Homo-oligomer: A and B are copies of this chain.
Amino acid sequence: MAELKNTFGQSVAVTLFGESHGPAIGVVIDGLAPGIPVEEDFIRDQLTLRRPWGKLSTQRQESDLFQIVSGVFDGKTCGTPLTILIPNGDTKSRDYEKTRFLARPGHADYTAQMKYHGFQDYRGGGHFSGRITAALVAAGAVAISALAHRGIWLKTHILACAGVRDSSFAPEEQALKAQLEALRGSRFPVLDHAAGERMQAAAEAARQSRDSVGGVLETAVLGLPAGLGEPWFDTVEGVLAHALFSIPAVKGVEFGDGFALANLRGSAANDPLRMEKGRVVTGSNHNGGINGGITNGMPVVFRCGVKPTPSIFQPQQTVNMETGENVVLELEGRHDPMVVHRAAVVVDSVAALTLCDLLAMRLGVDWLAGR
């Protein structure tokens, strides 16, 4: 799984670019098999799932208009780098001048200063901005579509938010498939809608306290062939986690029962195998569809822990990076008290792109196009 700073993937590789307040952000996907249909409507729908809405999101109005500038011909991938450009609009860059040298706690301001020596574009988080994930979502839409044509489905729901917990995914494959379908198109993806409403109420309460909330996202992937991944380094867990930790605010990733396995005994954690209709299945899925780093054909299930949005509207202790003084910062501007729900589609996108790469590495470039 080769990785070059802003490029991820080997046979199918994604390159991200752009700053929040620059002319545009965008993404190049290289290595997609030729002949995959690219549906602009589906890209638009996926971008809608990520776009701010309601009281819980920043009031920045992003149109997320995008342009495909290469790699698509007659509505299908042509096998060459597919580039999607999303121009930036509605940027209020002057907002950022006043606090330019004040490192916002929980943000990357201070680490950007240390890495880029003050040359970074500080406006709106620059290249660190959550805005960049729009490009990932656009690219991910193409990957999600391609996987669906090959019978591979994935979807993420909000397992927990602000202390409220959603139902878990069903252990049984048919039931799980129905759950994934029910989540389709939801801008606040939960299995239990009552839990979803309690989450939103709790997030709204935090917002009114000028505070923010985090959560846990749970993802299931159905239909992956057994035999993907490598025993060392390019384990399916390692490769997916590598990509998922790029999503801003993700601070933990776990597979199957994850950290909870630490408290189980082996007799409870092992998944018994059996033949069922000519296919090997497991009776439980504590290992999340992965053994020894390699898929076993059962659903791949993982969770991402998302920290609360660092932008809050309370006084915070910090430093002025220019003068070296200790100061108190009070943020203004447009910010999200909660991003967990908007991050769900980003998780789907990042996972889909990563899985396309794992599949192409093992089965050849043309497999994704059904050849």
Whether a CB of chain B sits under 8 angstroms from the CB of A258 is yes
Q: A20 vs B253: C-alpha distance in the bound complex, in angstroms?
A: 29
Q: Report chain B residues within 8 Å CB of A294.
A: 108, 111-112, 114-115
Q: Report chain B residues within 8 Å CB of A10.
A: 2-4, 10
Whether a CB of chain B sits under 8 angstroms from the CB of A243 is yes
Whether a CB of chain B sits under 8 angstroms from the CB of A212 is yes
- Which residue of B is nearest A237, CB measured? B245
A24 to chain B, nearest CB (A): 4
Whether a CB of chain B sits under 8 angstroms from the CB of A91 is no
**Stretch of A48-56, A173-181, A317-325 with 4 or more beta carbons under 8 angstroms from chain B:** A317-325
Q: A26 vs B296: C-alpha distance in the bound complex, in angstroms?
A: 28
**Stretch of A144-152, A182-190, A284-292 with 4 or more beta carbons under 8 angstroms from chain B:** A284-292
Q: Report chain B residues within 8 Å CB of A364.
A: 362-364, 367
Q: A291 vs B70: C-alpha distance in the bound complex, in angstroms?
A: 22
- Which residue of B is nearest A102, CB measured? B273
Whether a CB of chain B sits under 8 angstroms from the CB of A28 is yes
A24, A233, A266 pick with most chain B CB within 10 angstroms: A266
- A34/B292 in contact, CB under 8 A: no
Q: How many copies does the complex hold?
A: 4
Task: Give residues 128-183 of A contacting B (CB, 8 Å).
Answer: 128, 132, 160-163
Q: A160 vs B305: C-alpha distance in the bound complex, in angstroms?
A: 20
A200 to chain B, nearest CB (A): 15
The interface bits of chain A over 287-311 (1 if a CB of B lies within 8 angstroms of the residue's CB, else 0) are 1101111111100000101111111
Whether a CB of chain B sits under 8 angstroms from the CB of A251 is yes
Task: Give residues 48-89 of A contacting B (CB, 8 Å).
Answer: 67-71, 73-74, 76-83, 85
Given contacts A251-B257, A255-B252, A294-B114, contact A238 B232 (CB under 8 A): no
Q: A253 vs B239: C-alpha distance in the bound complex, in angstroms?
A: 13
- A30/B2 in contact, CB under 8 A: no
Task: Give residues 340-371 of A contacting B (CB, 8 Å).
Answer: 361-367, 369, 371
- A270/B15 in contact, CB under 8 A: no
- A267/B78 in contact, CB under 8 A: no
A195 to chain B, nearest CB (A): 15
- Chosen A-B contacts, 22 in total, with CB atoms closer than 8 Å, are A3-B239, A4-B30, A5-B30, A15-B28, A17-B28, A17-B70, A17-B71, A23-B69, A78-B126, A80-B231, A105-B273, A107-B292, A112-B231, A115-B227, A213-B265, A233-B242, A241-B245, A257-B307, A266-B309, A273-B317, A275-B325, A363-B365
List the 5 shortest-distance A-B pairs measured between CB atoms, nearest first.
A108-B292, A252-B254, A364-B364, A212-B266, A34-B119
